[in-house]
Structures are given as structure tokens and as C-alpha cells.
Copies of this chain bind each other. A is one copy, B any other.
Amino acid sequence: MGQPVTYIKAINQAMHEEFERDPSVFLLGEDIAEGGVFLATDGLREKFGAERVLDSPLAEAIIIGACTGASLVGMNPLAEIQFADFITPGVDQIMQNVAKLRYRSAGGFQPHLTIRVCCGGGVGGGLYHSQENAAWFMHEPGLKIVYPSTPYDAKGLLKACLRGKDCYLYFEHKKLYRSIKEELPEEDYIVPVGKAKVRREGRDLTILTYGYMVQISLAAAERMEKQGVSCEVVDLRTLLPLDKEAILASARKTSRVAVVHEDKRTMGIGAELAALVQEEAFEDLDAPVLRITGPDIPIMPFSPPLEDYFMLNPDKVVQGLEKLAAY
């Protein structure tokens, strides 16, 4: 084990190592050659040259379109969407080409790429630097969506994507970038796509969550423990396809399930999780699946009290869990 590293450093390391390992990896995005707003891509251009670390024009569709095309002739593209909020101009390419090209050519063309997307709120970024919109993409088989919550996973999942053959959306929560550190193995490792992880074992209820909300959920679980309620925290890690086995195993074990996500509620990821759990584990449930989520308002507002109102925190999660435990 080496020095403890932050989540963003882990991402940076993964890129450095995969650039080294695979000469066909390249990075295309806005404002990345100098290291980017958060220094996620720090040092890549210096080390691997401007031919592999390309600042793109301000145009998300072509970032994704060009990467997809380049993957058809043997490149291994890594695209960066600077803020998740700005993925919308690229939605056309993601939905119509990335998610569907393999399918509609019956595998004749095999696009593969990884799109890193910096998302999430709680940093005073306001409306357009806080969106947490992975939900839009979960409706698209053909895509895979990963969303690490720890430095270890951040590195391991990014490496898995860069070695995989599919089209990956890799969401990274900016609030995690520098708020947690972890010692990482010296040796090469990956975290497999498609596998959830139990972050905390528990008996009385299950929390299904991912990304930054894992931290919040663990804090809430800690407090519930003191009230005598033992919470299991399942970190989904991959949102598409979901690790149904792990989700249902925990649901069946505890019989009470909460979903915790930062994004707004209606048609958020919690909708699918609740639908799935009640569908497959109905007889095991002692209470309805509870969604503890952001409010159904269009976008995270800027003013601090409004942002606080939007963001979940351990207090709000505990409130929900108490209700669930008492059901």
C-alpha cells in the first residue's frame, strides 16, 4: 500500500497508468490539456503529448462523436465532459450512436469508449455546476454506467472501463474529489463493472446508494446504530446494468429498503430500484421501499440555503431511515 490518495488523484493515476499500458488510449475534452478545473488530467499532456491529450473545441456532441468514430479504427477513447450539466448537447450522440451503433449494425461495428462526467452538487456551484443526471442514461441498454464512491473504486473502475469493450459513462462526484483519501494497492488492479459492494453489513435495513451519497449514508447508518438500528449500506458502483443479485440479496436479508440519492426523485434512479425490489422481493419486504432523494425541483438553486435545502445530508437521511425502521 502506498500513500493515501484522494479520489481525484486516483482518477488521475488510473489515466496515467492506462495511457502507459495502452498506446491507443487518448483523451478528448474541453480544457483538459492544462489539467482541467480540478486537475483531474494533470500531467497527462506533459507525459504523453498533445497528440494523445487533445483539447477539443467547445462542442460536446463532436467530443463524443469523434471518440466513437475513432474507436472503430482501433483507438481507445476517453472523453471528458467537463460538467455533467453540459452533457445535454452530447445526448444525441450518446443516445443515437454510442448506445445503438453496435446493436443496429448487429455487431458489425463495435464502438467502445469511456466518457468521464464530473457531476454533483453541494459545492456552491449553483444550477449548472451541480447536476447529477446519470438517471437520464439508465434507460439506455447499450450503455454501461459506473459511479465510484471511493478512491479505490475510482481507480479500479476507470481502469476496468479503459480495458473493457463497451461504451461506458463514468460519473465522478466533484464533492468527493478531495474529501476522502485512501491507501491504494501498489500493484495493478481493476474493479469489475457490474458488481455492487456492501460497504457496511447490517441486519435491520438496507440502504441502496452510490457515489457521494455513500458517505452520507454511512454517516447516517452510524447514527442509526446508536439508536439500535443496524443498517446495511450497498454501494451500487455500477448503475447500468444493475447488480440485481447483490441488491436483492440485501433486500431479502433486511426486509426494509431505502434508496438514497442526491438527484431529484421522480424518475430518479430510486424509481427503478424501488420497482425492482418490490417486483422481485415483495414477499420479503416488511415496508415499502423508501426513496430518500433530492426534491422534485428543476435544478439545484444557487443561494446557500436553497442549495442546503436541495442536498441530502445525514440528518435528512436519518429522518427517513427512522420512519422506515418504525414502519
* Interface set of A (CB-CB < 8 Å, partner B): 85, 88-89, 91-92, 95-96, 99-100, 103-104, 127-128, 133, 135-136, 138-142, 240, 242, 264, 266-275, 278-280, 282, 285, 287-291, 296-299, 301
Residues from chain B with a CB closer than 8 A to the CB of A298 are: 99-100, 103-104, 140-142
A290 with B279, Cβ < 8 A, contacts A89-B92, A136-B136, A268-B139 known:
yes
B287 pairs with A282, CB closer than 8 A: yes
* B289–A279 touching, CB < 8 Å: yes
What chain B residues lie within 8 Å of A135 (beta carbons)? 139, 267
Q: How many monomers of this chain does the complex have?
A: 2
A-B contacts besides A141-B264, A141-B266, A141-B296, 15 pairs, CB < 8 Å: A89-B92, A91-B92, A103-B297, A135-B139, A135-B267, A139-B264, A139-B266, A139-B267, A139-B268, A140-B298, A141-B297, A141-B298, A242-B266, A279-B290, A282-B288
Q: Choose one: B85, B100, B272, B291; the contact of A299 (CB below 8 Å).
A: B100
Residue in B88, B266, B301 whose CB lies within 8 Å of A240: B266
Q: Which residues of B contact A271 (CB under 8 A)?
A: 267, 271-272, 274-275
B266 contacts A138, CB within 8 Å? yes
Which of B99, B103, B280, B289 contacts A275 (CB under 8 A)?
B289
Q: A298 to B99, alpha carbons, bound, how many Å?
A: 7
B-chain residues with CB within 8 Å of residue A279 when the two chains form the complex: 274, 288-291
In the bound assembly, the distance between CA atoms of A119 and B287 in angstroms comes to: 37
CA gap between A257 and B70 in the complex, in Å: 47
Q: Which residues of B contact A136 (CB under 8 A)?
A: 136, 139
Residues in B with CB closer than 8 Å to A95 are 88
Q: Report chain B residues within 8 Å CB of A133.
A: 139
Find chain B residues with CB under 8 A from A140 CB: 298
Q: What's the minimum C-beta distance from A18 to chain B, rounded to whole angstroms? A: 27
Tell me the bound Cα distance from A274 to B270 in angstroms: 11
Choose among A100, A136, A264, A280 the residue with the greatest number of B CB atoms under 10 Å from its CB. Answer: A136
CA–CA, A100 and B302, complex, Å: 13
Give A127's nearest chain B residue, CB to CB: B104
Contact (Cβ within 8 A) A92 B100 = no
CB distance from A224 to the nearest CB of B (A): 20
Cα of A235 to Cα of B117 in the assembled complex, Å: 38
- Point out the residues of chain B lying under 8 angstroms from A240, CB to CB: 266
In the assembled complex, the Cα of A247 lies from the Cα of B264 at a distance in Å of 21
Cβ–Cβ contact B138 & A267, under 8 A:
yes
Closest 8 CB pairs of A and B: A274-B275, A88-B92, A282-B288, A139-B267, A142-B298, A271-B271, A138-B267, A278-B278
21 residue pairs from A and B, CB less than 8 Å apart: A88-B92, A88-B96, A96-B128, A99-B298, A100-B298, A103-B299, A104-B127, A135-B267, A136-B139, A138-B266, A138-B267, A141-B298, A242-B266, A267-B271, A270-B275, A271-B271, A271-B274, A271-B275, A275-B278, A278-B289, A279-B290
